[in-house]
Amino acid sequence: MFGILKKMFEKKPPTKERLPFYDIICPYCFAKFHHEEVVFRAAHYRDDDETLALQEDEELNQYRAKFGLAPIDLEAVIEPAMIPDENKIYSDRVLMGVSDKYSVVTKTRLCPECHNELPVTAGKYPSNIVSIVGATSVGKSVYMTSLIHTLQHVTANNFHAACIPLDNEISRRFRQEYEVPLFENGSLLDSTARTRRQEPFIFQFVFKDEDQAPLTLVFFDVAGEGMTDKDYIQLHAAHIKNSSGILFLVDPMQIRSIREKLIHQLGENPGKIVGMADEPREVVISLFGDFIAHLDTNKTNIPTAVILTKSDLLNALKSEEGEYIRTNSNIFQHVTHQGYLNLDEFNNINGEVRRFLAKVDVPFVNALDVYFRDTSYFAVSALGSNPVDQQISGIISPIRVDEPFIWLLYKLGYIEGRHTH
């Protein structure tokens, strides 16, 4: 009887009715627009026609300048408004291509604001974007690398999906600058330099079931302290505001009350210890200034996973009586979610990490409660151990690194949640 009742109360995500088309959010500049407002990159150029000659694309070059990239000349931009209706190509009622005056077809759709190329799925599915937020030195780059590596090699398979870079350039940059150094050479990634502006890394989590919308992951590898430049902050704020989910990273070393304790416990060989970064509450307050304050209710509904990074460091705080963390804590147990979010495991980790943070940094938890309507708490170790002298010894074995992402899949109605006990 209990089993039947339990099944009745198991949570299923609301099934979303598929609309004929959706507003598009550009994964580069986060402008929001109707699918008929896209512009196109011509599929050819002609020296004998100045409207189709190679030319400077002012909008794209302005965008590139924000990331310190050189201007480039490209094929012309075609405005659909200049094209007769019979030369427009639709697929499932979404504008996907145009035929120019030389009858050459282009299906390269661009954002009308920044002229970056849009994903093929834009307009046909909701633009669900997940963003990563956190202060300097919380390990955003390492977490991003470990998460994408795990999504590609483990999680996607567990959920009948694939995790694919948006284009070859992103694929190459991720492999060369992040995945190979960390997973193949065991070298810790340097903190993102403030002067180093990087275009976002964009990946799509695509389900094999074609009726299921893909989820777009946009990672700005932003230097936390580089968040002062107004242009940059506005881009970041637009990114967060138009996100469907947020991964909010917190480094235990940012929390003053446990920092000293950890340094003392780690003793002779503490590995890499970061300098004092902004306290987590300050990051919440700057987020508030950037985008939450502009919302009608002064609170955001975006589901936010609050993630305690470098959870392996917390081994130094564990004890039988559990003043901070119990010896047998869930934080140190790796969990694999397969096909659904295991709600029992999720409830355990959420409760435990929230209690821990409320004990060691109550102003931070209070600030989250005030500004965020929908938060859950997680603990992850991107590497499984604390590096020494910028090197990781042994095999990298991430702990619970994909769990916050799986929770977001659940919150956004992609997967279901089940109790197992």
Do residues 64 and 197 both lie within one domain?
no
Per-residue confidence band for 215, with pLDDT thresholds at 50, 70 and 90: confident
**Pairing between β-strand 73-74 and β-strand 55-56 as defined by DSSP bridges:** antiparallel
Find the range with the poorest average confidence among 150-154, 254-258, 300-304.
Answer: 254-258
Find the range with the poorest average confidence among 149-153, 349-353, 393-397.
Answer: 393-397
Do residues 264 and 397 both lie within one domain?
yes
One-letter identity of residue 318? K
Classify residue 384: in a domain, yes or no. yes
For the cut 50, the answer to whether the pLDDT of residue 17 exceeds it is yes
Do residues 152 and 288 both lie within one domain?
yes
Helix, strand or coil, per DSSP, at residue 191: coil
CATH value at residue 374: 3.40.50.300
What span, in angstroms and rounded, lies between the C-alpha atoms of 25 and 7? 37
Do residues 80 and 142 both lie within one domain?
no
One-letter identity of residue 254? Q
The residue segments making up the domain with residue 91 are: 24-110
Q: What is the pLDDT of residues 61-75, one digit of tens each?
A: 998 887 778 999 999
Do residues 65 and 186 both lie within one domain?
no
Q: Which of 309, 311, 317, 310 is nearest to 266 (CA)?
A: 317
pLDDT (average), residues 133-145: 74
- Domain end: 78, 110, 142, which one? 110
Do residues 210 and 327 both lie within one domain?
yes
Q: Whole-structure pTM over 0.85, yes or no? A: no
What span, in angstroms and rounded, lies between the C-alpha atoms of 91 and 86? 14
How far CA 307 is from CA of 28, 362, 364, 400, in Å, comes to 25, 16, 13, 10
Number of separate domains in the chain: 2
Q: Which residues contact 286 (CB under 8 A, 6 or more apart)?
A: 227, 278
For the cut 90, the answer to whether the pLDDT of residue 114 exceeds it is yes
Classify residue 171: in a domain, yes or no. yes
